[in-house]
Amino acid sequence: MSSSGEAAVVRRARAEDVESILDLLAHYDMPRSYFEPFYLKDPSYRPEHSWVAEQDGRLAAHIRVFDHRVRACGTELRVAGIGNVITALDQRGRGHAGRLLEAMLAGTPGEGFAYSLLKAYQPVLYERHDWAHIDQELVRATLSPGGVATVAIERFADEDLPEVMRLYDETNAGRSGTTVRSPEYWRSQLEWLNEDRQGFLVAREQNGAFAGYVRSRAARDAVETLELGLGAGDSGAGRALLSAAASRRGGRLQAFLPPSLLRLFQPHEGEVTTEFGFMGRVLDLPTLTTALEPVWLRRVQESGGRVAPSSWRRARAAPKCG
């Protein structure tokens, strides 16, 4: 424990801090090697995306901003994903994480981030800094054995990437909350993420046409579906992909899916529950309003509505998609 009593120095990280950050992240239950690709091979990472608290010449705590573009209401927002929040074991309970969040909130306005998202395991900390809960609908199901498959299921191969990219964009073009991925993002992620290829499956029609893909991982009791991409109305391929992925856990799976994909399940196969998912917070209201204002105006024009000045001011203060 520190004996100096001096306050920790909170600052953005520098290149020479990265190795110490990786050592600090080993205070999680995961080994240092798990985090190394995210800092040494991820081309989107910059040392200044990390905020650190330095106590007595060593790093006491760390948070990282993951720089993403996310679809929202028919437009795109630059979003700061907050993650890898960690405090050294002998420094916990001293408020380091809260001070790092305060520094990040003070430092990011003007950098183009409109919004922030995070997955919280200790939500009280983030509630204190105005992040709000965003619930998600979780599907838990045990798939019944299907009939004769109309598509061929294969493991993903690198040459499938162009079709996967195309289908990802088509599937998510109008879906808020999905990440915008560049070809560089796709290629680099597949290179350094070490994804379990057993859970990355593709479907092809009898004529060889690409019909869909699923990305999943096997958990203890079920297969977690991370991503499902399908052509319009191709429920047969979707069902076959989910069945193939879930077969690693006796047909049991869980997934966060949009309502349009619930048709893939039979009524008796499972249930949909509302689960605590992400937390969100506006980072820069003028940036958010500027991004959403054209969407809001277009919807007003399409509806033939007229907006009173007072309503216009309220909309600018708290813009919404709907």
User: Residue 252 pairs with which residues in a beta bridge?
Assistant: 142
What are the pLDDT digits (tens) for 13-28?
999 999 999 999 998 8
Dig out the tokens for 183 from the structure. 């070809």
- CA 60 centroid distance within chain: 26
Cα 302 from Cα 134, distance rounded (Å): 29
What confidence tens digit (pLDDT) does each residue in 45-98 have?
999 999 999 999 999 999 999 999 999 888 899 999 999 999 999 999 999 999
β pairing state of 132-142 and 270-282 = antiparallel
* Lowest mean pLDDT, pick from 63-67, 282-286, 311-315: 311-315
Domain boundaries, the chain: 9-130, 138-275, 285-317
pTM of the model: 0.84
Report percent pLDDT > 70 for the chain.
Answer: 91
Task: State the DSSP code for 282.
Answer: E
Fold entry, domain 9-130: Aminopeptidase (3.40.630)
CB 4 within 8 A of CB 60: no
Torsion of CA 77, 82, 84, 89, to 10 degrees: 170
CA distance 295 to 73: 7
Q: Taking the domain 138-275, which CATH number applies?
A: 3.40.630.30
Predicted pLDDT at 3? 46
Please choose, from the candidates 111, 124, 1, 120, the residue with its C-alpha nearest in 3D space to the C-alpha of residue 63: 120
Q: What is the pLDDT of residue 234?
A: 79
Residue count of the chain: 322
CA pair distance 21, 63, nearest whole angstrom: 9
CB distance 63 to 100 below 8 Å:
yes
Residue 121: how many other CB atoms lie within 10 Å: 7
Query: Is there a shared CATH topology between the 9-130 domain and the 138-275 domain?
Result: yes
